[in-house]
Amino acid sequence: MQIDVTEPRTGASVLTLEGRLNMVSAPQLKTAITEAVEAGRTHVVVDLADVGFMDSSGLGVLIAGLKRTRQDGGDLRITGVTQQVATVLQLTNLDRVLHSYSDVGEALDGW
């Protein structure tokens, strides 16, 4: 999986993912979120528009990231949710916890 990291504004990171978010790639995302938070970018947007598949390992890392960012006064938002990802979020009721935004701009709005 490819992860592209940008800093659109002070204190915020956008992680743009491409590929499968599964057991193999989830640790990469965990590292990227941890690095962002440790660098003071506690408001993290994870762009999933090019992620066609996510499993429970990916869900686990997003929840861990949500807790980690909030611990430091920030938040984690997701955007670009594809069909399989949306279904997995709904089946596990995590669509109530991980709020999905239509695009990166909307996710960054209000931060």
Partner 1 sequence: MAGEYAVRGLAVPESLDLVQDLLVQVRSEHPDISETDLSMFETAIAEIHGNVVKHGRPVGKVVYAFSLSVHDDRLVGFLADTGEPATDLSEMPLVDEMSESGRGLWLARATLDELLYVRSGDRNTWKMTRLRSARAATH
d(CA 31, CA 26): 9
Helices (H), 23-55: 26-38
Q: Which residues contact partner 1 by CB under 8 A?
A: 20, 22-24, 53, 55-57, 59-61, 63-64, 66-67, 83-84, 87-88, 91-94, 96-97
CB nearer to partner 1: give 6 or 87: 87
Please state the closest distance from residue 108 (CB atom) to partner 1, in A: 24
CB nearer to partner 1: give 6 or 90: 90
Please state the closest distance from residue 7 (CB atom) to partner 1, in A: 26
List, in order, residues 6 or more apart from 77 with CB less than 8 Å away.
44, 45, 46, 98, 99, 100, 101, 107
Name beta bridge partners: 4: 16
CB nearer to partner 1: give 36 or 85: 85
